[in-house]
Amino acid sequence: MRRGGTIKVMQTYLPLNDGYRMPALGFGLYKVPADQTEQVVLEGVAAGYLMVDGAEFYANEAEVGKALRSIEVDRSLLTVTSKFWGEDSQDRDAVLASFEATEKALGTVVDVYMIHWPRPQRNQYVDVWRTLIELRDEGRIRSVGVSNFTEAHLQRLIDETGVVPVVNQVELHPYLQQEPLRAFHREHGIVTQAWSPLGRGNVLEDPVIREIAAAHGVTSAQVIIRWHLQLGNSVIPKSAHPGRLASNLDVFGFELSDDDMAAVGALERGQRYGTSPDERQ
> What's the CA gap between 94 and 88, in Å, rounded?
8
Please enumerate in sequence order all residues whose Cβ is within 8 A of that of 5, keeping only pairs 6 or more positions apart, or say none.
46
Distances (CA, A) of 148 to 50, 219, 274: 23, 28, 10
Which amino acid, 99?
F
Query: Which H/E stretch holds residue 62?
Result: helix 61-69
Q: Which of 58, 113, 175, 273 is catalytic?
A: 58
Please enumerate in sequence order all residues whose Cβ is within 8 A of that of 202, keeping only pairs 6 or more positions apart, or say none.
175, 271, 273
Cα dihedral 160, 161, 162, 165, rounded to 10, equals: -110
Burial group, residue 281, by CB count within 10 angstroms (0-12, 13-18, 19+): exposed
Cα dihedral 11, 83, 160, 167, rounded to 10, equals: 10
> What's the CA gap between 225 and 217, in Å, rounded?
15
Q: Is 58 among the residues known to form the active site?
A: yes
* Phi/psi of residue 106, nearest 5 degrees: -75, -30
| Residues that are catalytic | 58
